[in-house]
A and B are shown apart, each in its own frame.
Chain A
Amino acid sequence: MQRYIISRTFQSLLLLLGVLIIIFFMVRLTGDPATLMVARDAPEEVREAFREKMGFNRPMIVQFSDYLFGIVQGDFGESLHFDQPALEIILERLPATFQLATVALLFAIVVAIPIGIIGGSNPGSPLDSLGRTLGLLGQTIPNFWLALILILIFAVNLGWFPSFGRDKTISVVLPAIALGFASMGQLVRLTRSAVLEIRNEDYIRTARSKGISTLRIGAKHVFRNAALALISVISIQYSYLLGGSIYIETIFSWPGLGNLLQQAVDGRDFPLVQAIAFFISFFVIALTLLTDVVYALIDPRIRYSR
């Protein structure tokens, strides 16, 4: 077990390093940041001074190694737009993004799992059709389009929810639905197919023939085995929600990390873009690692297969 955890952790660190390398070099291929960050009517000396100050004139390798050492010490550079350390700005926005991603995931789980279970237990029933339709819609409807429609119907026409911002407690509802809808669709389909599959397993038939009640079969055998398949999907979904909130946060003007990223990319705020991309990658990788470890703990087949 320990060997498994150590090797997975090591793999994750390697992955993180690879991500950092990609982020760093890709972001510099689009042009000279000085041209965009400094006012266009500024004299060339101002632009050159800016390049000097930011160290953009140094060779790439030097810039990268400085950056790497900085990160290890917790220094993610200073945002060009905000004149503040990138880390500070990110930490300010994190809570909002976590709140949104968590509520979106809860929405997805609370809607998807019951429908998936009931649908899977009664294939062909109306609820099952609903479940499969939701699954299809979740995979086809783009979340930004859904966001705009939700605003139009529930904020503008009905006035039940605010159209933007994080002012009130109910402000999180529309963005969470828009963000979580795709996850919900996927979870419905997965839950349903997991339940369907397990129901037909021999051990279920054995349990039933032993006279164990349907409810107990449902809770102890079906659900626990289905949960295994679902855990990894849910964790992937959560990291997708954390990192994929950029459209939703922009549309709803939700003061989180995604919104910040959109602004940073728009303004070619390199240090901030790198810092945010790193954070999101870090969460995804950490979450995956955690899931793998939990999975190994629950399912003995995994940890003994190495």
Chain B
Amino acid sequence: MKRLSILFTMLVLLGLIAACGGAAQPETVTVVETVVVKEEVEVVQTVEVEKEVVKEVVETVEVEKVVEVPAPDEPKGELIVSLSTFPNSLVLPNTAERNAYNASAQMYNALVWVNEEGRVTPALAEDFEISDDGLEYTFYLRKGVKFHNGEDFDAEDVITTWQHHIDERNAYNYYFTPIEDIEVIDDFTVKFIMSEPDVLFLRKMHLNWGMIPTDYYNEVGFEGLEAHPVGTGPFKFVDWKKGDRIEMEAFEDYWEEGLPKVAKLTFRPIPEEATRIAAVQTGEIHIANRLPVDEAQRLLGAENVKIVRYPVDRVYYISFNNLTTGIDTPLEDVKVRQAMNYAIDRQAIIDALFNGYASLTAGFVTSGNLGYDPDLEPYSYDPDKAKELLAEAGYPDGFEIGMACPTGAYTNFEQVCEAVGGYLNEVGITFEGGEIQFMESGQYWDLEANKELPPLFGDSWSVADGEALIRLSGALGGFDASYSAWSNDEIQDYLTRISGAFDEAERAALYQEFNQYLYDDPPFVYLYQPNTFEAINVAVQNYQPRAAEDYHLKEVFLAGAE
């Protein structure tokens, strides 16, 4: 009996392990964008039989037709979207991270908006002008816009919003403290006077400015607004059960005609990836965000789910140091740095660790950014050339240097660093202490901020506003920038010029030039730009995620909603 029960237990265990499923084989990911409709078609055939009676046989045959689903005239249905963490706030300037932003942004508008191509376009301001020195912005406000509570939008609300947004309690108040004053020229014209020019100011407005109504704010105050947010956006706030869900519904008087297209919008925070995947399969949610590669692939065959893949505006890199720990090291020679870029087979790393789902980068200006140069080819994998360059620089046998990487910060990044280390070893570059120093991310970033990390260190930088300036100045600003370990006069010059170019076309040209310079004289080993995956219910139409992973759900609708 005892042996039987042991056997029984082992069988149960084996069965359970088998149920887990084997490793998913890599498959190509396809994006299905149109709805496939199965229709039954009657086929009438005449069949000959022995007797001279002709019978008609009707068969039904399934035919797959691809049908473009038209958008409904009125908002219909409930769209349920998952978030991967709990939002801290639903008031736009106070949203501390992407999830909170995604929920909150559906309720607000700013004076301008950054569209899918990364260009600044009008929103609550029909038009705007920037003075040449970037210190004055004149906005011509749109008429006939209403807030969720019925108030009309005009110049006074711009002032109120400004006063609210610079409150210290907001996570991003410092975006708007450079506004020195706002002049009301008339009910629909305002002029912003800046204390210092900021070429990214309009993009910061797109990110964290949410217009709020004056009377309402005066009545309920900061906490009242947090408890029940009001804006001009396509969706208005209904309820927030903390930890459980955020409920919104369509705003009938939204100023953009014909939008939004769903009647209710609900956000459910689900921190666990596996649960998000289960929930999208059962239909409990329509959009599951931030899925890892293997899970996304496993869903490829699922009936009611389609996979959407897109590049994220984040770059991974190994930084060199010429400010502190990198002084008097071989890194000072440009050939050494170029050699290191040639020494690493980034594509192999991408294939091995991300199943091929990442893109090589040739610089910090990526495919979603202003001034991106699609013709600039990333460094190829050429270890012979790397050794040649090292020899030319005077290090035919390589050299020893310190390198560090963070743990627990980014997906698979520890393995990426190990791989990078391996490739560098192959061209003769070895590490102090014999290996890469791995550190817990909190401690790591502290050291980075003090410029105390070894001369080689790995990190990553994302931007949300469609321009690379923040990461360029952040990583290359020298002693003025916390996380920078590399700078020089030319770089500072470029940064200054870009920061002063208020004309977008001019700035785009400068980014291209700067990126080329940073390619020829690399301050980093450029690694990759990751892809992210989302699984959405097949009924979801018009869903277009952006490289900054932000959602703008006003155009989304559900096929077959009532």
Contacts and interface: CB of A to CB of B under 8 A. Distances in A.
Contacts of A132: 5
A163 B275 contact: yes
A81 B272 contact: no
A52 to B, nearest CB: 12
30 contacts: A31-B442, A35-B445, A35-B446, A39-B96, A82-B242, A83-B94, A92-B243, A93-B243, A133-B5, A133-B12, A140-B13, A149-B16, A149-B20, A151-B274, A151-B278, A153-B19, A156-B278, A163-B275, A163-B278, A163-B284, A164-B270, A164-B278, A166-B244, A251-B272, A252-B272, A253-B275, A255-B242, A263-B85, A266-B85, A268-B442
Contacts of A256: 243
A163 B1 contact: no
A19 B274 CA distance: 34
Most buried by B among A42, A83, A266, A268: A83
Contacts of A253: 268-272, 275
Contacts of A162: 282, 284
B449 interface: yes
Nearest to B273: A251
Contacts of A71: none
B1 A129 contact: yes
A31 B16 CA distance: 41
A227 interface: no
B443 A30 contact: yes
Contacts of B119: none
A163 B282 contact: yes
Contacts of A251: 272, 274-275
Contacts of A42: 174
A235 interface: no
Contacts of B163: none
B370 to A, nearest CB: 17
A41 interface: yes
A56 B446 CA distance: 15
Given A129-B5, A149-B19, A251-B272, 6 more contacts: A31-B442, A151-B275, A152-B19, A163-B279, A163-B282, A253-B268
A250 B272 contact: yes
A252 B275 contact: yes
Contacts of B440: 30-31
B469 to A, nearest CB: 10
A118 interface: no
B278 A41 contact: no
A87 B93 CA distance: 25
A136 interface: yes
A263 B268 CA distance: 15
Contact of A83 (B13, B88, B244): B88
Nearest to A130: B5
B306 to A, nearest CB: 17
B123 to A, nearest CB: 23
Interface in B1-43: 1-2, 4-5, 8-9, 12-13, 16, 19-20
A197 interface: no
Interface in A58-94: 81-83, 89, 92-93
| Chain A interface size, under 10 / 10 to 19 / 20 to 34 / 35 or more | 35 or more
B500 interface: no
Question: Which 10 residue pairs of A and B lie closest in terms of their CB atoms, listed nearest first?
Answer: A31-B442, A255-B243, A129-B5, A163-B278, A253-B270, A255-B244, A81-B88, A251-B272, A151-B278, A163-B279
B241 interface: yes
B86 interface: yes
B1 A156 contact: no
B442 A32 contact: yes
A232 B207 CA distance: 55
Nearest to A123: B1
Nearest to B274: A148
Interface string B68-111: 00000000000000000110110000101000000000000000
Interface in A103-146: 124, 129, 132-133, 136-137, 140-141
Contacts of A262: 271
B8 A30 contact: no
Contacts of A43: 174
A44 interface: yes
A84 to B, nearest CB: 9
Nearest to A163: B278
A82 to B, nearest CB: 6
A252 B272 CA distance: 8
A89 B446 contact: no
B279 A164 contact: yes
A162 B80 CA distance: 14
Given A35-B445, A129-B1, A136-B9, A156 B282 contact: yes
A250 B19 contact: no
B531 interface: no
Contacts of A152: 19, 278
A263 B96 CA distance: 14
Contact of A39 (B16, B172, B442): B172
Most buried by A among B19, B169, B270: B270
A186 to B, nearest CB: 16
Interface in A12-31: 30-31
Interface in A159-214: 159, 162-166
B167 to A, nearest CB: 11
A263 B445 CA distance: 20
Given A156-B282, A253-B270, A133 B174 contact: no
A259 interface: yes
A1 interface: no
